[in-house]
Amino acid sequence: MHNTVFSGTVVGVEGLVVEVEVDIARGIPCFSIVGLPNTAVRESRERVTAAVKNSGWDFPLDRITVNLAPADLRKEGSAFDLAIAAGVLASSGQVNIDVDTGNIPPSRTLFLGELALDGSLRRIRGALPVLLHARERGFPRAIIPMENFDEARIVEGIEVVGCATLRDAVSVVFGRESVVDEGDDAFEDTTRVKAADEVAIVSSAGTDETLDMTDVIGQEAVKRALLVAAAGGHHVLIAGPPGAGKTMLARRFATILPPLDRAGSVETTMIYSSVGLLGGRGIITTRPFRAPHHSASDAGLIGGGANPRPGEVTLAHNGVLFLDELPEFRRHVLETLREPLEDGRITIARARTSLTFPARFQLIAAMNPCPCGYHGSPVHPCRCGPIQIENYVGKISGPLLDRIAIHVAVHPVDTDALGEGRQGTSSEELRERVRLARGRQRARANGTGESNDAGLNATLTEGQMRRHCRMDDKAEALLLRAQKQLRFSARARAHIVRVSRTIADLAGTDTIDVEHVGEAIQYRSRT
């Protein structure tokens, strides 16, 4: 007998519905699965066989062939187990796939879940993206492991049933009489919940909510630069000696960004679900903060592998990517950052396919001014020669530096010089100013843009700059003078205009004046 049921997998960060055909024919007993890598096939066969037997059904001693389609797609993961088990039960006549339970038919149900040998269902990665795709394809119902239930609550418009075991799943889909009864207590620990429209469980993707800008004493100039960066979505490079507070400032940057909106939360949760980093949590509502070490590989930073998986730049999507000790990163790794810095996405090319992942993050890069860290310090002598310093800074390519709009120097604060009990600006105050400045940007962009990070000043095109970045005469003259004296590249000039626009938005004015331009120029000429 031959039957088809449906399951799903993740390709990159997107979900995909997969057809699971199960054919059972007379012959020498064997169990083959087509369309999976070899090791995965072996393991899946063993789990499905044991789970079916241990749940009280017979495992057919015939020729069983399972085909996962589309065939040309490299499939990963263990999420097909439940569908394969359901298909085996249907094709061996132990459950009726055409059963009328008065509810959604089995053939219109998506089966997702890894089976344990005892028949219980285990958490899978990528449940959220698969469910979103299944909804798009018009599936009215999905069965998922109970452990994935919190992330599945986000999806509306498809009935999601969380099940703890294979028996539970079969009883939900094929009717209770399909399950071999082992006594009255068989269903006692069964938990079934329908998901749609319930309140989601909230969790965090890395931003520590106990951090606050008031923790940073002094440094008001750097905080100002970070405020401008947050308001317009500009990338930042912080240069300064060890102990000046670069990391402390970077870690608090996300606390001055506005909270994620609904669309942003779903995007971020999908990404974390697809790489298996959700760990049973529900929707992510805080902005990610990722701080990969400088020894990170290409694949680790930008994504990759035979079956490309997203890297740090994608995990930082909608949040902050912090690269400490920027010159220590391998140069070709830094080169690969150019695409996401420019376009907000990253394309991973492979021989047969190419995948594009979202990667719209705000970069906060930090570096020492020289290898020993004390170049330019008034108190600490620098031990580096001029060539050493040049080589060190030269490790970061010009094109990469060119894509960072705001360069700011940080100096250690002499805490004795500060008055007692003096508190700096708080994250809440800064966040409110960011919110207002972003509101002006959104209003200009006519309220379009998919989420609250789209259409910020950092991504204004030449045409938009001509329309929206009107300068008064003095401002215009200053920009021209600076351009001649400091020999800015065209890209650097564009950044200055965009940053000026953000500074004017923070000031609440439509026309960019000489002070706004002056501040923006400073961010490019002082490192």
Residues in contact with Zn ion by CB under 5 A are 370, 372, 375, 382, 384
Question: Residue 206 CA to chain centroid, in angstroms?
Answer: 11
Q: Which of 123, 246 has the CB closer to Zn ion?
A: 246
d(CA 453, CA 373): 34
How far apart, in whole angstroms, are the C-alpha atoms of residue 420 and residue 118? 64
For the chain, give percent helix, strand, coil, nearest 5: 40, 20, 40
Counted residue by residue, the chain has a size of: 527
Cβ within 8 Å of residue 472, ≥6 positions away: 511, 512, 513, 514
Contact 262, 202 (CB under 8 A): no
Quote the CA–CA distance of 399 and 378 in Å, as a whole number.
Answer: 31
Instruction: Report residue 250 as tokens.
Output: 């970077």
Q: Where are the alpha helices (DSSP H) in 449-507?
A: 462-468, 473-486, 490-507
Q: Which of 311/369 has CB closer to Zn ion? A: 369
Minimum separation from the CB atom of position 394 to Zn ion (A): 15
Closest approach, Cβ 371 to Zn ion, in A, equals 6
272: DSSP letter: H
Cβ distance to Zn ion smaller for residue 8 or 371: 371
Cα→Cα distances 522→77, 230, 261, 458, Å:
51, 17, 33, 17
CB of 148 to Zn ion, least distance (A): 52
Q: Which is nearer to Zn ion, 67 or 388 (CB)?
A: 388
Cβ 482 to Zn ion, closest distance in Å?
29
Q: Which is nearer to Zn ion, 27 or 242 (CB)?
A: 242
* Enclosing H/E stretch for 128: helix 127-136
Residue 510, SS3? coil
Phi, psi for residue 440 in degrees, rounded to 5: -65, -40
Amino acid, res. 526: R
Closer residue to Zn ion (CB): 281 or 375: 375
Q: Measured from the CB of residue 372, what is the shortest distance to Zn ion in angstroms?
A: 3
Min separation Cβ 327 and Zn ion, Å:
12
Q: How far is the CB of 524 from Zn ion (least distance, A)?
A: 23
* C-beta of residue 49 within 8 angstroms of C-beta of residue 61: no
Give the whole-angstrom CA distance, residue 383 versus residue 82: 64
Q: Rounded to whole angstroms, how far apart are CA atoms 304 and 300?
A: 7
Radius of gyration of the chain (CA): 28
Token pair 């698969």: residue: 130
CA 316 to chain centre: 5
- Select 375 or 501, whichever has its Cβ closest to Zn ion: 375
Cα of first residue to Cα of last residue in the chain, in angstroms, is 72
The answer to whether 63 and 26 are in contact (CB under 8 A) is: yes
User: Residue 199 CB, nearest distance to Zn ion (Å)?
Assistant: 54
Residue 384 Cβ vs Zn ion, minimum distance, rounded to whole Å: 3
Handedness of CA 127, 133, 136, 140 (dihedral sign): negative
Cβ atoms of residues 236 and 254 within 8 Å: no
The minimum distance between CB 523 and Zn ion, in angstroms, equals 24
Residue 128: CB minimum distance to Zn ion, A: 48
Token pair listed for 405: 């709009």
- Residue 331 and residue 335: Cα distance in Å, rounded? 6
Cβ 526 to Zn ion, closest distance in Å? 18
Structural tokens at position 13: 């960060």
Closest approach of Zn ion to the CB of residue 370, in Å? 3
The nearer residue to Zn ion, 382 or 454, going by C-beta atoms, is 382
Nearer to Zn ion, 9 or 368 (CB): 368
- Provide the token pair at 330: 């391998």
Nearer to Zn ion, 256 or 384 (CB): 384
